[in-house]
Amino acid sequence: DIQMTQSPSSLSASVGDRVTIACRASQTISDSLNWYQQKSGKAPKLLIYGAFSLQGGVPSRFSGSGSGTDFTLTISSLQPEDFATYFCQQTYSIQYTFGQGTKLEIK
Amino acid sequence: QLQLQESGPGLVKPSETLSLTCTVSGGSISSNKYYWGWIRQPPGKGLEWIGNIYYDESTYYSPSLKSRVTILKDTSKNQLSLTVSSVTAADTAVYYCARVNQVAGNPGLLDYWGQGTLVNVSS
């Protein structure tokens, strides 16, 4: 199965900061990479699909990039509601797998 | 607005079978535009995909769980079900059902989720 590794595992930042989260696949997955946001006690929410396409209703400060094995999620200017855990997910293989998550905390 | 709601026992004994239901409202699980999945999350840990059920009722399961998992759908009730047999403490998790979408050639998008239900495996 395809392993997904996120970095960092946790990150402290301030409102207004630009933040980048990385996700690496153990083999090439083209652009079959999605990002989810999960707030405490809630279900995950789809943010980005196909590596860079913004899901409807998601603010434009979120963006995704990458292809092959290396991907990034960028938040251009952190807002208070963005402090959450973020997961990447590959759908290149029918055996969908997720990264371990990156917890974004307030500095 | 599509809504999904998981339900089932919150406590299951080791070696027994875990059974959950996901009731879907605001849309039909019979639609051939989507399929449906189950995902779980152990407390404080990451997400693990369990399996999918498709329009034609075919299924695909995670190889690590395949021998113990069954996913079914009841179109008359607009419900999905998940059973996991021979459970151990390692099966303790929040279990989610989700709609699986495909947009612009991108499959596997989990675009609607239930709120999740915590299942504790303990004697």
Q: What is the pLDDT of residues B68-121, one digit of tens each?
A: 999 999 999 999 999 999 999 999 999 999 999 988 888 899 999 999 999 999
Would you call B56 helix, strand, or coil by DSSP? coil
- Which residue from B30, B6, B3 is spatially nearest to B112, judged by alpha carbons? B3
How many Cβ atoms are within 10 Å of A94's Cβ, its own excluded?
10
* Selected residue of B52, B53, B110, B117 to mutate for chain A interface (largest A Cβ count, 10 A): B110
- Residues 19-48 (B) with a CB less than 8 A from some CB of A: 46-48
Phi, psi of A44 (to 5 degrees): -60, 155
Could you give the count of Cα atoms lying within 13 Å of B3 in the half-sphere of its Cβ?
4
- Per-residue pLDDT of A42-88, as tens digits, reads 999 999 999 999 999 999 999 999 999 999 999 999 999 999 999 99
Mean pLDDT of chain A: 96
Percentage of chain B modeled with pLDDT above 90: 91
Nearest CA in chain B to A100: B46
Contact at CB, A99 and B46, closer than 8 angstroms: yes
> CB burial class (10 A; 0-12, 13-18, 19+) of residue B88?
exposed
Residues B16-55 pLDDT 10s: 999 999 999 999 999 888 999 999 999 999 999 999 999 9
Phi, psi of A81 (to 5 degrees): -80, -5
Q: Residue B106 is nearest to which of A1, A50, A101, comparing CB atoms?
A: A50
Distances (CA, A) of B85 to A37, A52, B17, B53, B67: 30, 39, 4, 18, 9
Contact present, A97 and A24 (Cβ < 8 Å): no
